[in-house]
Structure 1
Amino acid sequence: MSFILRILLTIVFLCLYGFPYTLADTNVYVKLFPNKELCVSHFVFRDPEASPVQVGFVHRALSPRLSYIRAKLYGPSADINTRGPQIPLEDSIDTLGHLTTIYFHAEETGIYTICLKSLRQAPIMGFEITFVANNEKVDPLYLEDGTMAVDKPVGMEDYKDRLNMLKICVEETRDELRSIQVRRFMFEHTTHSIMRVTIGTLLLNMVIAAVLFLWSERYMERVFMKKKKNE
């Protein structure tokens, strides 16, 4: 088997089975599954004579949810199959649909990896992510007519995710209110049932006590009369 054929087979294998890490050099759309770890990596070059490179992890939730996502940053490692030392992050992952950037400093040249993991009960969430370093050249954005995009007017599409999030919050609030009403109805129904059973049992005990008292009084009176006649 020739060397070129081996390379082609390796590329096909990686395309079919995927990479364990995603190199996020441009905007990447990913999905984060519950309780599954997702790792994205970025290569950073640091000039030894310059100050540490500031790198920004830019992300935006495409399906906004109020959820917690744990984020861990790992530095470069000598072995590509192992993670480097963990670097603490000051900010957290935003899940409400805002364009958010988490900054960290690259002390050395190498691949930096951010691993995300949500809770077991969390929904499947989609993200748009990218890495931006201050020593990298970023091409400006251009419109369809070739002019540079300085600013984009705000339209209804910009509020689509937030309106969707607001709709979800309203639906969850409505469901929670209905659940509270059902629990309140069940509590009142159970309380009234217990009260009726308690009052009924109390009245029944009073009737039984009165009947036993009258019966015992008559019985004692008969016994006393018989004893008196025998004397």
Structure 2
Amino acid sequence: MKNLILVRHGQTELNAQNKLQGWIDAPLTTRGRETAKELRQVLEPIKLTAAYTSDRERAEDTASLILAHRFPEVPITTEPLLREYYFGALEGQDEGEILRHFLRKFGLRQTLNCTRRGSGFPQLVRGFAALDNTKQAETYPDFKARAQQLLDTYATNPSDGNVLVVAHGLLLSMMIHLLAPQELPAFLLKNTSVSILTKDAAGFQVRAVNLTDPATIQTLLRA
């Protein structure tokens, strides 16, 4: 494998309403579909040998839009391990209300620490789990193990080309965090943003994170 191209799905109706999604789903908005089509044009000159998507509609639709009209056709493999973090009883709740829950339970300083590069992401995930009174939310160790399993699997992929992965904000962030915590942006990944992991003898190296500029994406993937 040359590059693992990580793409967050396009904007959904729940994204537009600022609500947590996790394992529940919502259709792409018009904007979400349009940005996926724009990314298709950006990636059109880039050779892809395989594509993987989570089993949520928003990721599958984004992948299909990106790969539409490509010749030769790139096979898409649906992978349940690529699902988003499971928020348990918090799924579907308003993000503003979740922030208020964080502040009440953890205080301002600890809540702000969740946005710090490096150490903030684990605190954020642990915070979600702690806020779920039903104890259904995915634990940090389980979520970390799921992301590591994905990285280990892709590291052994025999393809010598570029592989597309379309999934979700927290899941892709965890994959990046495991490789280079300081590269993860404080406010996580944008819809239809591109992050690039390059394979070498030592494993994956984080080459770029949260890209939205077409010229930059093409330049890095053509190098």
Report the TM-score range of the alignment, normalised by the length of the smaller protein.
under 0.3
Please, what TM-score do these two structures have when normalized by structure 2?
A: 0.22
Larger strand percent: 1
Larger helix percent: 2
| Largest Rg, 1 or 2 | 1
